[in-house]
Structure 1
Amino acid sequence: MSLAQLVFVGFNKNVAALDRHSGTIVWEWRAAKGSSYVTLHLDRDLLIVAVDGYMYGLDAMTGEERWFNPMSGYGTGVTSIASVSGSVGNLPAAAAQTYQQQQQNDQATYHHSS
């Protein structure tokens, strides 16, 4: 399985990686600190997770915790995360290209069936 085949979800201190085609859970992880709200950011092979002000770095393929930072003094709330390499390759452009191709295929199918 490759990283491009995973979708990440987070809620209630939990993070899971799902197979993007079947929805099957590939791995699960639970934050040791924090209470509920989870923010996720994929930075190449590192999944950065914020849970109520606590920061974690997880291996995106396995869910193994690489690092923890309590971000002392920063407080809690909705977290914003950004990085210069916050995607895998050029996935946004590839996704847009796939979407455009699918739209063209749908239009061609519609015209043939009319």
Structure 2
Amino acid sequence: MQAKDQVDYAAFERLDIRIGTVVDVQPFPKARNPSWKVQVDFGELGTRWSSAQITAYTPEQLVGTQVCCVVNFAPRNIAGFLSEVLILGVTGDDGMIVLLSPRSPAPAGNPVH
């Protein structure tokens, strides 16, 4: 896979990436690709919803998990559902999404540096 064009640090600084804790996971049968509706708690920022293609994980595995999320993208309407944050992940060897999570617990809402 080829690297994307270089950007300056200011472009990265514009992203608001925060740690959140998954508090609810619901089926999303209307999504074009297999997905969950995921509610994430960001502490003082409150809770927000995401449509996430993280179906390698069961709802039971996800609830309580800390995740890295972009919280300042404009909300997107995905099959009639308003996705407010982007949960970050990487494609694994099996083609499924692997979540990006802090190695140790961190307070919900803390920014990624």
* TM-score > 0.5, shorter chain as reference: no
Higher helix share: 1
Range class of TM-score, shorter chain: 0.3 to 0.5
Query: If you compute each CA radius of gyration, which structure gives the higher value, 1 or 2?
Result: 1
TM-score, L = length of structure 2: 0.33
Q: Which has the higher contact order (CA 8 A, sep 6+)?
A: 2
